[in-house]
Chain A
Amino acid sequence: MKRVTYLLILVFGLGLFSPLMAQDNLTPERKQAIDSLALEKVKDLSKYISIIGDKETPWSEANRVIDRAEELFMQGSEMGVSSLVKPEIKYYPVRKYFERLMRLNYNKVVIEWYDIEYVSDLQRQPDGTYVGIITVFQKFKGYDKEGRLIYQDTTKKDITVYVKRKETQIGGRLIGFWDVLLGDIRVKETTL
């Protein structure tokens, strides 16, 4: 009798939790889609930073893009800023970083991110969140009024990414989606 009871508990338990288990044990194809999604958010950030830093971007557009860029981050995330002329690395809340970027004292700014890739794959945490680290290289170039390059550097940065499954109701349907949020962006190395 005891055996039957245990068996029933096991069967019903599996039945109840099977949707959750299916979500937890992602197939390689689904995991790949989530990996790509997180990578794409970093690429979106790279485009936003380039737009915000670009002096040609109209003020209203730059402010709109700052809002969009801020939405990519977890609350309280910080961005590391380094320079070849100062040894220390300063960390700013992301909004402040974008606002400073928009007001940089150059006539023209070109920011390019490249070699965007995972250094640590997305790993499932006990609370169900997937956490990974993506590394990027940022090439910064600042020009004066005469169009002369007055400052440039290349910074290697590590971005922590958090991916969590959430649900929302849309048009009477329950939609399960993957929410990708970026965490702190840490400076690893700054070179010419």
Chain B
Amino acid sequence: MKKSANLISRLIMLSLVVMIAMGGATSCKSKKKLAREKAEAEYQAKVAQAKKDLTAMLNDETNWSLPEKQERLKTIKANNIDDQEVKDLIVKVEARLKDEERQVEEERLKRKEQEMTDQQRRKYSVIVYTLADIAKAKNYDDANRQIEGALNLYATPDVPVLIIISKKDGYYDYDRPTTISKFMNYLKDSKEFKYDIEMAKYNDDGKITELELIKK
């Protein structure tokens, strides 16, 4: 009797040891699982956010500046997300941002060119006004007075005047060169001024030494 009671107690002890051992192992396993699940959830959130941001950039639905978009794209790419949809979106967004970059650069150059043209126009406006006034003169005396005054802007009455008739295919086609004095008299006779100033060269005294016009 005593022997069997001893056996039972031993069996109970063994069962307890097995149960404790099994319980500990299960708990360790679920911790790892939890960590894995957490990491997976974080990754999925990252993927979802990347898709959302990329789609928004692709459809121009953000109010980010171009450098902000480029930075975001850089971060997404650095995450090395192994998802085909994200990969495809990255390619598309890259192309779009390159396009945007080109547009921004084009606009910058256009603005710069416009600024230069405006600056040049302001610089050349005196030349334009004086020549246009000769063409608009009421009579010969008036025109001759205008010519006399306008010639003060030039180094000599023989300053060369080049007239571009066409600027195409990389070629500049000019009319027969003339002098400023002859050109002013031509304006007096033709009574019209239909040119833009392409270029003017000045000497140290601020007098024009060469004038290049282009037909409008």
Contact = CB atoms under 8 A, between A and B. Distances in A.
B175 A68 contact: no
B162 interface: yes
Nearest to B172: A176
B166 A170 contact: no
Given A30-B169, A34-B173, A176-B172, 4 more contacts: A22-B171, A27-B168, A30-B173, A171-B201
Determine the main DSSP class of B at the interface with A: strand
B174 interface: yes
B70 interface: no
Interface of A: 22, 27, 29-30, 32-34, 36-37, 44, 47-48, 51, 57-58, 61, 64-65, 68, 166, 168, 170-171, 175-180
A177 B177 contact: yes
A177 B175 contact: yes
B201 A29 contact: no
11 contacts: A29-B169, A30-B168, A44-B186, A57-B140, A68-B185, A175-B162, A176-B172, A177-B175, A177-B176, A178-B173, A178-B174
Interface of B: 140, 160, 162, 165-166, 168-169, 171-177, 182, 185-186, 189-190, 201, 209-210
Interface on chain A toward B: helix, strand, loop, or mixed SS?
Answer: helix
A176 B189 CA distance: 26
A77 to B, nearest CB: 16
Contacts of A58: 140
A178 B165 contact: yes
A27 B160 CA distance: 28
B190 to A, nearest CB: 6
Contacts of B172: 176
